[in-house]
Amino acid sequence: MKYFVVIIVALFSAFIMADLFFAPPAAPLRQGSRFFRHQLHGENIGLECAACHQGAEVLDHAYMPSKSDCLACHRLPLTEGPMAESLDSAFADDTYPFYNWNVKSKLPEHVVFHHGVHAKAKVSCEDCHGSRYKDDLYGGEKFTMKFCTDCHQGKTFSTKNFRTAAVYCGACHR
């Protein structure tokens, strides 16, 4: 009897340890990078999303800004503000033209997605990305197949009168 209790307790603690050390971390809502904040770079200073995400209106991916995009405004080192130091150090490394924004693809490789087609059809960024990025929180977007096909069939966003789009498998899969 005792043995069993000991064995079971040992097993359980072993599993918990295994979880702690080996399991992939759960994906939480992601806080943006340490220093970039959409809050400060939004409509209030008249920036279009596409100024930084240059593909968002014409290409498949929206893409991330390069340093030179930031330097258009931040040519002079920031002197105040809590994030100034990390910005300056990120820009200091001249050998590296792109700051390595931590952005992972959210769609599997077999799915075809294209920002440009949607921008042309007047689907706005908020329709898909929500407005949480404005609070510098990402990760709440739901890119399930149903989300895509429902809008394509006009079941969702019906007040916005988007044109109906393709729902045959070959439109989004390869």
What is the distance between the alpha carbons of residues 19 and 3, in angstroms, rounded to a whole number? 24
Q: Contacting another protein (CB under 8 A), which of 6, 9, 11, 107?
A: 11
- Nearer residue to ligand HEC within complex by CB, 9 or 166: 166
Residue 19 makes contact with another protein by CB under 8 A: yes
Contact string (CB under 8 A) for another protein, positions 95-114, x = contact: -------------xxx-x-x
Positive or negative, the CA dihedral 104, 33, 30, 65 is: negative
Burial (CB count <10 Å: 0-12, 13-18, 19+), residue 151 = buried
Task: List the structure tokens of 6.
Answer: 């000991």
What is the distance between the alpha carbons of residues 117 and 24, in angstroms, rounded to a whole number? 35
Q: Contacting another protein (CB under 8 A), which of 15, 98, 147, 157?
A: 15
Q: Contacting another protein (CB under 8 A), which of 62, 119, 123, 148?
A: 119
- Nearer residue to ligand HEC within complex by CB, 2 or 174: 174
